[in-house]
Structure 1
């Protein structure tokens, strides 16, 4: 089964005081760059890695150069190579998916769910490997285990306190359709709803 990589980086970062996707790691790179480097190792056949941003997200010089799904439609599902242990050499394209609504208010914003739903609306049939940008210690092995354990509609990790981490998970079409229904009904964020989904990685 193929997964489409999605980095969530469009939050308001009100607790951080500055856009967290642009915070620097010890080697000087922004947080989102770690995921861009990591995801091709986990999804070597994915032609594109998508970054979800709010309409008003602050951009660095690199992000300003990227196309968005308003410029081009999402790529078709990749054709997986049937020969094991052979990975494509061509690096994936990086494309931005913007939230549909401005992320200027905690009252009107759907929070992290906005990025998930923007991706779902861009292509409702896809299954997305979703990673929030603020996991700088995330490893290839952890993501490969997550993908291997995927069971629809959504599979995610539990943290040390036993709570689900829906912003580090695999979301199928049915899970995202249900999330959209709940957000429309309650304006709740994905972070507050993940524990109610089935198919979790324990």
Structure 2
């Protein structure tokens, strides 16, 4: 029984996934062999910069028994094939499981003769005209039309189903370079926007006083960092605990923790909960020597195909998780680590496909957590000011 006006589920911002991933296209209107060959060519051409994937349904109708140990009753079989890994499932994968598996890829091409996707590439082939007409209901978001040599016009039923067909790019099916350029352009166009997140929710227990409020550069550090990020980000938020919201000055957006008692890990997850389709440039406030050049260098070398772009520590060579660009594809990865009992952002970076870059100025990543470190950096900054004077 549901009461009027009662919503039993919390409203959450959902990632813009289709059936498989964020950027997916079903290719239909031509034989499966042509679709597979086109997928091979596009994925291979984009592989240096983007992770590609392919979805299809097998034609092996003569296979009546599940392969390997699945036939003996196993529900899952993992095989290290040396050149690649293979997971075989006995049960069909649900849409939720599929999206989880495809969440790390940038481009999904789908055989539209068997599967559907949120966008479509239609191939006009006279020999498959009747087959395409049977699938006309799948033409919900056509973004590219390819024309075979045996076809001279857009079929009438396609015109009726795709009212804006004149505005859709149209290429010859053998114009491979044009097709590759189309997909590359779409991936660039769909690159997640970059938001900024200033981590200011710590309790500063080792410091003994609120280190986010230290005025290293004429204003409180949390505002100094936020102002720097504004030149590189679409929106900038100051991350804090719920009880700290009223302490943030007007004019600065606040993003309180919704994953509580997890430190910076919870702050990052809270940011993705608010906007799961944006990348987040996460910066801690205990970096008094951080400058715009260091941020600009990180943004310039951002790799959206990785789960994150991070600096390596000059101390131990490990990733610096608290001055890192976390891509949307890191959100399910962070949640998966949390489900296994881990809340260390660095551990996620170490055990994932992370793009690591050396800092141009390692000193800019110096962090301050104790009164002794505070006094040392304060003296260093005074010396730098005096030397410039």
Q: TM-score, normalised by structure 2?
A: 0.39
Structural mapping, 1:43-82, within 5 Å: 43=233, 46=234, 48-57=235-244, 60=247, 63=248, 65=250
Mapped to 1, the partners of 2:336 and 2:257 lie a distance apart of 17
The 1:56/1:185 distance shift into structure 2, 3 A limit, reads farther
Match of 1:38 among 228, 234, 253: 228
Deviations 1:80-138 (Å, cap 9, x if unpaired)?
Answer: xxxxxxxxxxxxxx311111154xxxxxx212101100000011111111111112221
Mapped to 1, the partners of 2:203 and 2:331 lie a distance apart of 21
CA contact (8 A) 2:259 2:269 kept: no
For residue 65 of structure 1, report the CA deviation from its aligned partner: 3.4
Structure 2 residues without counterparts, runs of 5 or longer:
1-190, 359-389
Mapped to 1, the partners of 2:209 and 2:345 lie a distance apart of 21
Note if 1:13 corresponds to 2:198: no
Match of 1:98 among 256, 266, 276: 256
Match of 1:159 among 313, 326, 343: 313
Mapped to 2, the partners of 1:193 and 1:16 lie a distance apart of 27
The 1:138/1:14 distance shift into structure 2, 3 A limit, reads same
Note if 1:200 corresponds to 2:356: yes
Match of 2:341 in 1: 186
Mapped to 1, the partners of 2:272 and 2:339 lie a distance apart of 14
Mapped to 1, the partners of 2:217 and 2:272 lie a distance apart of 33
Structure 1 residues without counterparts, runs of 5 or longer:
67-93, 103-108
Paired residues in the alignment total 163
**Greater relative contact order (Cα 8 A, min sep 6): structure 1 or 2?**
1
Larger mean CA deviation between 151-160 and 177-186 belongs to: 177-186
The 1:9/1:194 distance shift into structure 2, 3 A limit, reads farther
CA contact (8 A) 1:5 1:129 kept: yes
Structural mapping, 1:113-124, within 5 Å: 113-124=265-276
Structure with the bigger percentage of helix = 2
Deviations 1:36-89 (Å, cap 9, x if unpaired)?
Answer: 22112333xx2x3111111233854xx1536xxxxxxxxxxxxxxxxxxxxxxx
The 1:190/1:57 distance shift into structure 2, 3 A limit, reads farther
For residue 18 of structure 1, report the CA deviation from its aligned partner: 2.2
Q: Which runs of 4+ in 1 moved over 6 A?
A: none
* SS state at 1:141 partner: helix
The 1:97/1:26 distance shift into structure 2, 3 A limit, reads closer
The 1:56/1:187 distance shift into structure 2, 3 A limit, reads farther
Mapped to 2, the partners of 1:193 and 1:37 lie a distance apart of 28
The 1:19/1:193 distance shift into structure 2, 3 A limit, reads farther
The 1:22/1:59 distance shift into structure 2, 3 A limit, reads farther
CA contact (8 A) 1:50 1:96 kept: yes
Higher Cα Rg: structure 1 or 2?
2
Mapped to 2, the partners of 1:184 and 1:53 lie a distance apart of 23
For residue 26 of structure 1, report the CA deviation from its aligned partner: 5.4
The 1:142/1:59 distance shift into structure 2, 3 A limit, reads same
Match of 2:329 in 1: 174
Mapped to 2, the partners of 1:196 and 1:176 lie a distance apart of 14
The 1:11/1:183 distance shift into structure 2, 3 A limit, reads farther
Note if 1:131 corresponds to 2:245: no
Match of 1:88 in 2: none
